[in-house]
A and B are shown apart, each in its own frame.
Chain A
Amino acid sequence: MATDTIIEVKGLEARYGELAVLENVTFDVFKGEILVILGGSGCGKSTLLRHMSGLTEPTAGRVYIDNVDITSCDEERFQETLRKIGILFQSSALLGSMTVAENVALPIIEYTELSNSAVNNLVRMKLSMVDLQNYENFLPSEISGGMKKRAGLARSLALNPKILFLDEPTAGLDPVAAAEIDALIKHLNEQTGTTMVIVTHDLESIFGVAHRIIMLDKDKKGIIATGDPQLLKDESMDENVQHFFKREPRVAPYVLEEILDGFN
């Protein structure tokens, strides 16, 4: 493994029952980069993320995080590795019965010996990092979707993880809120050097934040393209890649025209 590789995915296979979603997926994530995993609905993006973060065991293949094989290591090393990662879930996954501040404090209290006042201060600092300083005592149900995402981000950043996984961070947000989240992700990456793995299909955020992208395809059940987003858009010859970047339907309007011509 190269020194600057932080996650290594080797020959990963994911199945739901008999249906294979991903087959033989192999790639590396480098330290400090923002990698965007891209693809249409149902191509296995979120599944891949769940496998990379150890939430689901793959049917075949290995995932190394910081040189630890999380698919086969013992419980203690697995827990240790979990401490190095943070996840922002698509639904934010804030605990509904706790306030925003309590949610952020949860991992801090569990894993540090800080006093109550220090925890409070740290929570406030984390919340100001995501621009939520005045919402400590709100319940998740009382704040907007964008705020929930930011609160979830603050919680996943609570223990300064080395790697942050983000599952569709801008899904369901208005363009302004989405742009804010993107800017925040970029800013946090620059300031803290956290490696970020983002799953999304939001084209705007891809060009805004990604250093590198990996494109998955439903039919190929794996990676069809990888590289710099702008370069891929300009130079890729792959039909599926171009469809995606140009936002073209797979059955384009001209096909409809042809069908009509068939009538005449």
Chain B
Amino acid sequence: MQAVDFYEIIDNGNDASVIKLIGNITQQTATPLIERLVFLTKTKDLKSLTVDMENVTEFDDFGALLLVELRQNILKKKGSFSLINDTREIKQILSLVNFDEHKTFKPASQKRTNGFVIRLGETFIEVADSIRFQISMVGSIILCIFHGCKKPSSIRWGDTIAHMEKVGVDALPIVSLISFLLGFIIAFMSSLQLQQFGANIYVASLVALAMASELGPIMTAIIVAGRSGSAFAAEISTMQIYEEIDALFVMGFSPTQFLVLPRLFASIIVVPLLTVFSNLFGIAGGLVIGITMLGLTPQSYIGQTFETLTLFEVVWGLFKSMIFAMLISWISCFYGFRARGGADSVGNAATSAVVSSIFFIILFDSLFAVVRSYW
């Protein structure tokens, strides 16, 4: 389709032109026309432009856009613009798009941005508010635990068991697999070095210590944060959005007691158990390397493992995993309760929960390492 078909330019001299638009000036045809005609008005030094609409058969808002563009360009050069022979239908469309308003070019309105100081202040208020909320949540959890001690039937044990299954039993395969591979990798990497000194048997010690005191608790906690922390945050934030938490509140239930305690208790109980499995499977991974690559017997590998591991080491790891479990459930529930708005806030809550949980797990693990070194 040739754009030429749609207009005709009549030069009247004295820098005045009449553009006669012809036929359909609609969404299908207007785009090339806009380019051409605007180019013409830009290159010609026009003092006045008249657009004749007499032969226009169909017209829509893209046609109106053509007129707006032409008029803006002419007015910019201090010329004059006029429209002639426009029918009632065309006027209707022009009034629909507020044609008279668009005489000058206005940049698309941008979101108002505040100054640095205001943004700093806003961020500070936000952070302070979030800290206040976290503290009040910790307070509320402690109160609910006290209340639960006084009246154990007030704790929702059924929900707790359901969460134990979701957080613990369902995570067992993935925790086992990852831990097994982890033990396998540590044993493999360390064997390459230790073999040079003939210290093959110490691979068992290295794997056992690494798994029990560090990697077991941390890997388990990270997997639980990814699997269950995100689920906690998503569940609670969805409930927040669908007014379910308001409904609980109005029915006189404490949302903390109803939603946080079962998740907290379930995590505290099952994460250490998962860690035990993680340790066992990690050691099993090492054992496979020990037998196949280092020529150790299972007896000697296991014997060396038991010799290296102390009860304190194992219990310390389990204690850490319990703290990690508390962190995961607290942080995830916190982000769940903070959610406001629509579907995107559920996603944000889940993301923030996982990222913050992992950060706090690593942070607390470092603190534990410092504490132990000064013990």
**Chain A: residues with CB nearer than 8 A to chain B?**
50, 53-55, 79, 82-83, 85-87, 89-91, 93-96, 106-107, 110-111, 155, 256, 259-260, 263-264
Contact assessment for A90 and B251 in the assembled complex, using a CB-CB cutoff below 8 Å: no
Residues in A whose Cβ lies below 8 Å from that of B251? 82, 106-107, 110, 155
Residues in A whose Cβ lies below 8 Å from that of B244? 93-96
The smallest C-beta distance from A46 to any residue of chain B, in angstroms, reads 10
Contact assessment for A93 and B95 in the assembled complex, using a CB-CB cutoff below 8 Å: no
What are 16 A-B contacts with C-beta separation under 8 Å?
A: A55-B246, A79-B252, A82-B251, A87-B250, A89-B243, A90-B243, A91-B243, A95-B244, A95-B248, A96-B239, A96-B242, A110-B252, A260-B88, A260-B91, A263-B94, A264-B91
Task: Give the 4 A-B CB pairs with smallest separation, nearest first.
Answer: A93-B247, A93-B243, A89-B243, A107-B251
B162, closest chain A residue (CB): A97
Q: How many A-B residue pairs have CB under 8 A?
A: 58
The smallest C-beta distance from A131 to any residue of chain B, in angstroms, reads 21
Residues in A whose Cβ lies below 8 Å from that of B91? 260, 263-264
Q: Mark B59-70, 1 if CB is under 8 A from A, else 0.
A: 000000000000
The smallest C-beta distance from A66 to any residue of chain B, in angstroms, reads 16
**Chain B: residues with CB nearer than 8 A to chain A?**
86, 88, 91-92, 94-95, 238-239, 242-244, 246-253
A152, closest chain B residue (CB): B247
Contact assessment for B243 and A263 in the assembled complex, using a CB-CB cutoff below 8 Å: no
The smallest C-beta distance from A47 to any residue of chain B, in angstroms, reads 13
Residues in B whose Cβ lies below 8 Å from that of A86? 250
Docked Cα-Cα span, A85 to B238, in Å, equals: 24
Contact assessment for B250 and A82 in the assembled complex, using a CB-CB cutoff below 8 Å: yes
Selected contact of B95 from candidates A89, A90, A95, A263, CB within 8 Å:
A263
Q: Which of A55, A110, A263 has the most CB of B within 10 A?
A: A263
Contact assessment for A256 and B95 in the assembled complex, using a CB-CB cutoff below 8 Å: yes
16 new A-B pairs (CB below 8 Å) besides A93-B246, A107-B252? Answer: A79-B252, A82-B251, A83-B252, A89-B247, A93-B243, A94-B247, A95-B244, A96-B238, A110-B251, A110-B252, A111-B252, A155-B247, A260-B88, A260-B92, A263-B91, A264-B91
Docked Cα-Cα span, A107 to B251, in Å, equals: 6
Contact assessment for B95 and A259 in the assembled complex, using a CB-CB cutoff below 8 Å: yes
B244, closest chain A residue (CB): A93
